[in-house]
């Protein structure tokens, strides 16, 4: 979904882990490594958005992973959502910011297969990386931001504990 025409939009980013690797996606517009993600659509909760964005952008079925020691506890009147591990605010332009809810997920597959024509047509590169490769990117590739390295490293540690 496009921007909601507010000063601040809420978005999701999801770091997907399979085995010893985490998925990175080169953002085609801003030219930095990140994760699949996008805007939360009207009527959608953050968990639904995280799962949808990963499916649309890379075609992976995922299970969201909560923080260590978090236990989902639904009741008759309340459905617990998996909480994000990080929340940030970042500037998109002089008049527009995003607040991103950063999730971690697991996938049983590494087969990248975008589901929408828009995502198939993007020149976005996807790459599965180990912790060592992630560390090398931080040292050698200016497109790897420190916060992205931290989010991806946390995903690997949490899933492979």
| pLDDT reported for residue 96 | 84
pTM: 0.91
* 79-102 per-position pLDDT tens digit: 999 999 999 988 888 888 888 999
Domain range 8-159, CATH architecture = Alpha-Beta Complex (3.90)
- Contact partners, residue 62, CB within 8 Å, separation at least 6: 14, 16, 50, 51, 54, 55, 105, 106, 107
The residue to which tokens 């993007």 are assigned: 122
Domain range summary for the chain, segments of one domain joined by +: 8-159
The residue to which tokens 């923080």 are assigned: 67
* 97-144 per-position pLDDT tens digit: 888 999 999 999 999 988 877 776 665 689 999 999 999 999 999 999
Q: Which of 2-6, 95-99, 102-106, 157-161 has the lowest mean pLDDT?
A: 2-6
In the chain, pLDDT over 70 holds for what percent of residues? Answer: 93
Q: Is residue 60 pLDDT above 90, yes or no?
A: yes
Q: How far apart are CA 2 and CA 68, in angstroms?
A: 33
């Amino acid at each position: 979904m496009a921007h909601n025409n507010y000063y601040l939009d809420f978005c999701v980013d999801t770091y997907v882990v399979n085995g010893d690797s985490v998925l990175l996606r080169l953002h085609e517009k801003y030219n930095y490594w990140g994760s699949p993600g996008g805007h939360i659509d009207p009527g959608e909760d953050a968990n639904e958005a995280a799962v949808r964005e990963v499916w649309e952008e890379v075609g992976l079925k995922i299970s969201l992973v909560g923080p260590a020691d978090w236990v989902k506890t639904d009741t008759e009147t309340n459905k617990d959502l998996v909480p994000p591990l990080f929340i940030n605010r970042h500037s998109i332009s002089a008049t527009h910011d995003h607040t991103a809810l950063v999730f971690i997920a697991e996938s049983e597959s590494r087969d990248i297969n975008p589901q929408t024509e828009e995502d198939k047509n993007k020149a976005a590169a996807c790459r599965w990386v180990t912790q060592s490769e992630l560390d090398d990117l931080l040292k050698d590739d200016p497109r790897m931001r420190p916060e992205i390295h931290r989010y991806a490293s946390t995903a690997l540690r949490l899933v492979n504990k």
